[in-house]
Amino acid sequence: MRFESDPPKAEANLRAHGVGFAEAVTALEDDCALTREDPAAVDEPRFVTLGLSTLANLLVVVYPHQEPDLSGGSR
């Protein structure tokens, strides 16, 4: 799975929650993580994952699901 950062959002999350993007990704990669659809999502499908980061922090990560671009570029 590939994860993309939105730099302004990542910086805001770091300031507000003390968790960087790289650490949040490790919680998403936790083999024992729990993931559910976000029932509060309105504009786009979102998911909520509860996982343990590699720094041993239990994190709740909320993120949108985006389909991969399989077009291979313009022809």
pTM: 0.80
For 17-48, b where at least 16 C-beta lie within 10 A, e where not — what string?
eebebebbbbbbebeeeeeeeeeeeeeeeeeb
Residues 34 and 9: their CA atoms lie apart, in Å, by 23
Residue 54 lies in a domain: yes
pLDDT exceeds 80 at position 55: yes
Residue 43 belongs to some domain of the structure: yes
Count structural domains, the chain. 1
Residue 72 belongs to some domain of the structure: no
Considering the domain boundaries, does residue 71 fall inside one? no
Query: What's the residue count for the chain?
Result: 75
* β-strand partners of 20: none
Is residue 73 in some structural domain?
Answer: no
Question: Each residue of 1-21: pLDDT tens digit?
Answer: 788 889 999 999 999 999 999
42 domain residue, yes or no: yes
| Domain of residue 14, residue span | 7-64
52: in domain: yes
Q: Is residue 25 part of a domain?
A: yes
Residue 67's pLDDT is what?
65
The closest of 25, 45, 49 to 35, measured between CA atoms, is 49
